[in-house]
Structures are given as C-alpha cells and as structure tokens.
Amino acid sequence: MNRFYDIINKIENNNNEITVSEYFHRCIAQAINENEKELVDWFCKIKNDVEGELVAWAEKHGQKYILGRNRAERKTWGIQVLLGKKIKYKDTVLNIYFPTEFHENSIIVEQCF
C-alpha cells in the first residue's frame, strides 16, 4: 500500500480548486507514468465509485452538475469533497478515508448530510 501513498502524496491540490474526479485523474496519470498497472485499475475503480456516490448525494439534495461543482481537499485521513469550486463554500459532500494499518485494503466513502 506504500505505492498508493507515494502516488497520492505527489498530487498537487492547486489551492483546493480541483474536483475529486480531477484529483483521481491525476493519480491515474501518475500511476501510468510509474508503470503501476495494478494501481491504475485501482484508482479507476475508486474514481468510478466516488462519482457514483456524488451523483447519489446530488439526487438526494436536489443539486445539479455535482461532478463539475465540487472540490477536493486533501486531509491527513484522506480527501474531503466539498460543494462548490471556490473556498467560500463549506458544505461537505463526501469524506473519503484512505487505508490505514487497521483497514489496509479498504477505502471508506461516507456521504455527509
């Protein structure tokens, strides 16, 4: 799992103004550059799962265009996905918890209300 963290930690967050999809696109590109086929597949699956959770959240909350109107903030425990592209919004949409020593093979995606 160290390779996962190596790639995650190389991703620049551009002042928290990138979407979670863009964040994972960068992870995929970095994994391709490092010839990490297993991680490319893994990041693609995570990206698809997270986008599905975003769409489900948007349907519950009457939001449109959620895939382009969110921003990813890197935290010590993972990624927090917030509503809106600018810093003025503080609505948390998803929390994405990365693997830990206790949950080595799982990423937890939590919808926030």
pLDDT score for 21 = 94
User: What are phi and psi for residue 109, nearest 5 degrees?
Assistant: -110, 120
Which of 2, 1, 13, 11 shows the shortest CA–CA distance to 33?
A: 11
For residue 63, give the 3-state DSSP assignment. Answer: coil
Give residue 63's domain range: 2-111
pLDDT band at 28 (very low <50, low <70, confident <90, very high): very high
> For the residues 62-73, what does the mean pLDDT come to?
87
Q: Which segments within 1-113 are labelled E, that is strand? A: 70-75, 78-83, 92-97, 108-111
Number of domains in the chain: 1
Residue whose structure tokens are 């990490």:
36
Tokens of 83: 């509503």
Report the C-alpha gap between 94 and 12 in whole angstroms. Answer: 20
> Counting Cβ atoms within 10 Å, is residue 73 exposed (0-12), middle (13-18) or buried (19+)?
middle
Q: What is the pLDDT of residues 32-53, one digit of tens each?
A: 999 999 999 999 999 999 999 9
Residues in the chain: 113
pLDDT score for 5 = 78
